[in-house]
Amino acid sequence: MHDLREESAVNAPLNLREEGRLRVLQALYDSVRTSRPELIRRTGLSRATVSALVADLITTGLVQEENGPAEQETRPTGRPAQPLSLNPSAAYAIGADIGHAHVRVVLCDLFGTPVWDRGEIKEVDRAPYETLDLVAELIDQAMRDCGVPRERVLGLGAGIASPVDRDGALGGEGILPGWTGIRPKAELEERTGLLTQLTNDANAGALAERLYGAGRTADDMVYVRLSAGIGAGIVADGRLLLGAGGLAGEFGHLPAVRNGRVCRCGNRGCLETVASPVAIARLLEESWGQPVTAADLPNLLARGNAGARRVIEDAGEAVGHALAGLVTLVNPQLIVIGGDLAAAGEALFEPVRRAIARTALPSAANQVTVVAGELGPRAEVRGAAGGVLASAPRSLAIMSGADPLALPD
C-alpha cells in the first residue's frame, strides 16, 4: 500500500508563518496575476512580511516573477511593479469520472487546465473492482507520461454516477448496481496513494461549468447531465446543494410518466426511463425492429430522420417539464445542459425551453436561460479535479513550508 499523507495535516490549524503564506498564496490563486503592492493590499500584511514570503515562494519555485509591468500597476516612484503569478506546474490534481459505461481520467495543473486526458469505454455497473483498477492504471499512466511525481499531486477527485453521502459512502440503492458495500474512496486511496474526494458526477459537472464553463458568472444555476444516467447539480447562492444524505439533484428519478417502466431505483416512470439516450434509442429499436444504440442518435438527427427527431423532442419536453418544477422551486438564473444528449442541439433545447415557459411560474421562467454546457464530456472529470484544487492554497501553504519542492526550472 502507498504511503498516504495524513488528511489531518491539511485540516490542522496553521502556525503564524503558514497563515501568512496561505494569505499570499490565496491572493495569488484568486487573481492569477498580481504584484507585491496588490498583495500587501489584499492580504493586510506588512510590506516586509509580503516581501519575505514572496522571496521564499520564488525560491521554492511556487511563485514566478515575470518581466514587464503588471497591468495598470505603477509604484508611486514611477517604477513598474513586477507581475507575480503562481507557477501552474507547481502542483497538480487528478480528476476521475466513473460513469455507467465509461471512465475518464485527467491530470490538471494548479489552475485546473488538463495536461493529460484519457477516456475508456467500460461496463462499470457490475464490475466495481475492475473499474477501480482501470482508474488507478490510468492515473499511474498520467503521472508517468507527464513526469509528475506523486508528491506533487494534491489529491484525486473522483466523480461517480451515484449519490454520495457526506461520509463518502454510496447511496441510492440500485443506481449503481453491483457497487453495494463498495467504498470507492478507500479503494482508490489504497490503489493510488492519493487523498481522494468522492463526489456525485453531476455535482462535479456543475462545479466544472461554474468554475471553467458556461456558469462562470452564475451564483444560482442548475447543471443537468443527460447521459446513460440523468442527474443534476444545483448551485444555490454560490453553493452546491447536497441534501441531508447527498441525494439532492437526483433529477433523473423525478416522476415523468404515470405507471411507466420500472426504473433501476425501484420506482416507475422516472425521467431516466424516458429521456436518457438509452431509453430514446430503445423506442426507435422497438419501432424499427433493428438494433439502435445511443451512439447512433447524433447521426440519425444529422440525416434528418423524422423518428429520431420526434423521440428527442419528446425527451426534451419531459426534461423541460421536470426542470419547470425546479425553476419554480429554486429560481435559477441559468440551466446548463450537458451529457451525451446535449449534442442533439436545438432539437432537444427548443422543447426544453418551451416546456419551462409553459409550466414554470412565469416570472421564474422569464429569469432563466437554458444553454448547452461548454465543457462537453470533460465537465465531470474537470469538476472532480476542481474540487481538490479548491483547497490548493492551503495545501501549498503547508507543503511549501515543510521542505523545498523539487521543481523544474
Q: Are 91 and 143 in contact (CB under 8 A)?
A: no
3-class DSSP assignment, residue 202: helix
Q: How far is the CB of 267 from Zn ion (least distance, A)?
A: 5
Q: How far is the CB of 373 from Zn ion (least distance, A)?
A: 23
263 contributes a contact to Zn ion by CB under 5 A:
yes
Q: Are 50 and 31 in contact (CB under 8 A)?
A: no
Strand ranges for 72-112 from DSSP E: 84-86, 92-98, 102-109
Nearer to Zn ion, 69 or 255 (CB): 255
Q: Are 315 and 341 in contact (CB under 8 A)?
A: yes
- The terminus-to-terminus CA distance of the chain in angstroms comes to 32
Nearer to Zn ion, 53 or 263 (CB): 263
322 contributes a contact to Zn ion by CB under 5 A:
no
Beta-carbon contacts of residue 198 (< 8 Å; ≥ 6 apart) = 158, 160, 164, 168, 184, 185, 188
Scanning residues 333 to 392, which ones bind Zn ion (CB under 5 A)?
A: none
**Candidate list 10, 14, 236, 265; residue touching Zn ion; CB under 5 A:** 265
161 contributes a contact to Zn ion by CB under 5 A:
no
Give the binding range for Zn ion (CB under 5 A) out of 43-51, 104-112, 258-266, 312-320: 258-266
Tell me, by CB under 5 A, how many residues bind Zn ion: 5
84 contributes a contact to Zn ion by CB under 5 A:
no
Give the binding range for Zn ion (CB under 5 A) out of 79-87, 210-218, 252-260, 328-336: 252-260
Q: How far is the CB of 206 from Zn ion (least distance, A)?
A: 20
Determine the Cα–Cα distance for residues 202 and 387; give it in Å rounded to an integer: 13
Determine the Cα–Cα distance for residues 377 and 205; give it in Å rounded to an integer: 9
Nearer to Zn ion, 253 or 321 (CB): 253
Q: Are 300 and 308 in contact (CB under 8 A)?
A: yes
Give the binding range for Zn ion (CB under 5 A) out of 102-110, 125-133, 216-224, 248-256: 248-256
100 contributes a contact to Zn ion by CB under 5 A:
no
Q: How far is the CB of 271 from Zn ion (least distance, A)?
A: 8
Nearer to Zn ion, 267 or 359 (CB): 267
270 contributes a contact to Zn ion by CB under 5 A:
yes
Angle of helix 36-43 relative to helix 16-31, nearest 10 degrees?
A: 120
Nearer to Zn ion, 110 or 230 (CB): 230
253 contributes a contact to Zn ion by CB under 5 A:
yes
- Considering only CA atoms, which of 247, 140, 133, 233 is closest in space to residue 184? 133
Length reported for the chain: 409
Residues binding Zn ion (CB under 5 A): 253, 263, 265, 267, 270
